[in-house]
Structure 1
């Protein structure tokens, strides 16, 4: 596997977007294809909305993309993974059908994507903490409610985003109709152990001596040693090669190269994603590996988990067990039988139908429901 891909996927489905030239001039040969995708994705419905802009969130400017066919639909805030792996560059691959039923807001978090380039990241380097990210989720939700005249919004998160979004929902549940966790992280050390064991078992079963040698060199994993970037890279390499990131595939090229065709991201933006990865990872890693939501026994709002049957990036088993024991106003686990970690990309049809079946009915105000 390529070193760049390994580095970029060391946490939760990071994206190794292609770097631009050092001077960062947009020279992509994909301009014509981008233009076609952009034209297809234009919101032309009379009551639709399509806008991108910077908003002041958490003391800095942060980038938002808002798209939907009907402003009267509920707002769905999609909190991306990573950390620092924005959804905007690949949202064109799966999002358009969802926009018929929700106004979808994608947000580049502090240190990520377009937000990374809006101001000198060193000016907020000391704010790269899980609590600050969770407070940003709350502030984005409050901003969206005020700007678009909504009482509440739906909070949906993927991978790393589930860590900060669960904390935000616990902090201020009154902002949200429901919480949807995709590739939900509950206990990071449990995830690392399950992921590593899967990769080692597959390598032994398939007689991959190279993989077995590499993985046995860091055993026991994670054990009692610190979970460093280098150990994570070594542990994740083979679990993802054997389909733990995208089911039935030993790579995820569709995702890694998808940003090249993004109507919203140019070459310079992709370079900023890479730089944002590096900027964020070292600062957040100690807090990330200590994450543990297992003690949480009550959740204040409806909760839905999308669980990838083959997910060995954030394995579904701990999330399933947590969901079984938690008390919540409503809870539902939805299994994606042909997905690993990248459910919206792998099974976009099931993503849409699951949102319509389990989540859209929750996004109704009592006064509206009475009519």
Structure 2
């Protein structure tokens, strides 16, 4: 037997030999998700001759931003999916639900400024001063113009989720000529009203369960939102308990499938997964004052067809304000589609119904 110090000296060599025998590389050993990502990536590889599978950065709004474009037939209508957050890209979890949609649509996911893969392209301090809602709206319009030119599309379907519905609705109002229709998922309509409804739901659930911890925390910010400033600290408490009671993912107190999903993304490196949290820290506080003032209830006319995908149990962006708005707004056509087994994460929670609803209610509008 070798002395202990010599055994330690040769340990890397022995480990490499062992890994070679088991078919595992040293890189895979240090990154336990690498093999799973490769399998998911292979399953999702577009092999159809007329398909498209592009991942690239391009200059948008003066900085490099990332686009991910996928579809089995580039002749299909194209969806521009504007993600939520702020700074919560769809790209790292698209593998969980998007593949069937790609048979009927080409889907473009865009990592917004300061978010996901775009975060690492520009010095965060350079981006920090540009974190304004109107800048995101102009970025979305520029992305739409870029996609129509690159892929030979006359118009796109514009689809937004959560925070992305603020950007999407404003982009549609500003440049309706670029879009066949608008699809809102977890639509933000009136932030203060959303906050009030979500808080009241959480309080009622906590009282029903006699949840002492929840009641103590919720009462510490009551009345909410009230007349006090809606600070980041108050929002965290106000969102924590509706989500605990299924207001983010229906019938679930946690949403690990979503928050841990990027670890298995074939589109993201581990470093880019780490950048997701950095992007949230960069953007949320800076955009918060504008975010809290969002109210589309005064919009009486909408220039393009509008379809709302609403989760019946959504208490992250409660649906009541959107239902009221849809009843009074004038539009070329309008429709609400209810997802009875979803809360806020409709495409992830009910991917089958998402596909069927896109085919039945949205694809016919892309003419």
TM-score norm. by structure 2 comes to 0.92
Q: Tell me the equivalent position of 2:311.
A: 308
Q: Does 1:196 align with 2:193?
A: no
1:267-282 correspondence to structure 2 within 5 Å: 267-282=270-285
Q: Secondary structure at the match of 1:34?
A: helix
Which of these residues, 221, 241, 246, is aligned with residue 243 of structure 1?
246
Which of these residues, 188, 192, 195, is aligned with residue 185 of structure 1?
188
Counterparts of 1:28 and 1:220, CA distance in 2: 47
Q: Using the TM superposition, give the Cα deviation of residue 336 of structure 1 relative to its aligned residue in structure 2, in angstroms.
A: 0.3
Q: Does 1:253 align with 2:256?
A: yes
Q: Using the TM superposition, give the Cα deviation of residue 121 of structure 1 relative to its aligned residue in structure 2, in angstroms.
A: 2.0
Q: Tell me the equivalent position of 2:8.
A: none
TM-score norm. by structure 1 comes to 0.91
Greater than 6 Å deviation, 4+ residue runs: none
Q: Using the TM superposition, give the Cα deviation of residue 207 of structure 1 relative to its aligned residue in structure 2, in angstroms.
A: 1.1
Q: Tell me the equivalent position of 2:157.
A: 154
Q: Does 1:208 align with 2:208?
A: no
Q: Tell me the equivalent position of 2:328.
A: 325
Q: Using the TM superposition, give the Cα deviation of residue 125 of structure 1 relative to its aligned residue in structure 2, in angstroms.
A: 1.7
1:34-183 correspondence to structure 2 within 5 Å: 34-183=37-186
Q: Secondary structure at the match of 2:107?
A: strand
Q: Given that residues 26 and 268 in structure 1 are in contact (C-alpha distance below 8 angstroms), is that contact kept between their aligned partners in structure 2? A: no
Q: Does 1:33 align with 2:36?
A: yes
Counterparts of 2:255 and 2:57, CA distance in 1: 30
Q: Tell me the equivalent position of 1:17.
A: none
Count of residue pairs brought into register by the alignment: 340
Q: Does 1:350 align with 2:366?
A: no
Counterparts of 1:176 and 1:293, CA distance in 2: 19
Decide which structure has the larger Cα Rg and report it: 2
Q: Given that residues 27 and 267 in structure 1 are in contact (C-alpha distance below 8 angstroms), is that contact kept between their aligned partners in structure 2? A: no
Q: Using the TM superposition, give the Cα deviation of residue 124 of structure 1 relative to its aligned residue in structure 2, in angstroms.
A: 2.6
Counterparts of 2:336 and 2:358, CA distance in 1: 12
Counterparts of 2:30 and 2:86, CA distance in 1: 27
Q: Using the TM superposition, give the Cα deviation of residue 126 of structure 1 relative to its aligned residue in structure 2, in angstroms.
A: 1.3
Counterparts of 1:27 and 1:71, CA distance in 2: 38
Per-residue Cα deviation, 1:54-74 (whole angstroms, up to 9, x for no partner): 011111110000000001001
Q: Secondary structure at the match of 2:39?
A: helix
Q: Using the TM superposition, give the Cα deviation of residue 27 of structure 1 relative to its aligned residue in structure 2, in angstroms.
A: 4.0
Task: Label 1:239 to 1:26 Cα distance change in 2 as closer, same or farther (>3 A).
Answer: farther
Counterparts of 1:55 and 1:266, CA distance in 2: 19
Ranges in structure 1 where 5+ consecutive residues have no aligned partner? 1-24, 365-371
Q: Using the TM superposition, give the Cα deviation of residue 26 of structure 1 relative to its aligned residue in structure 2, in angstroms.
A: 11
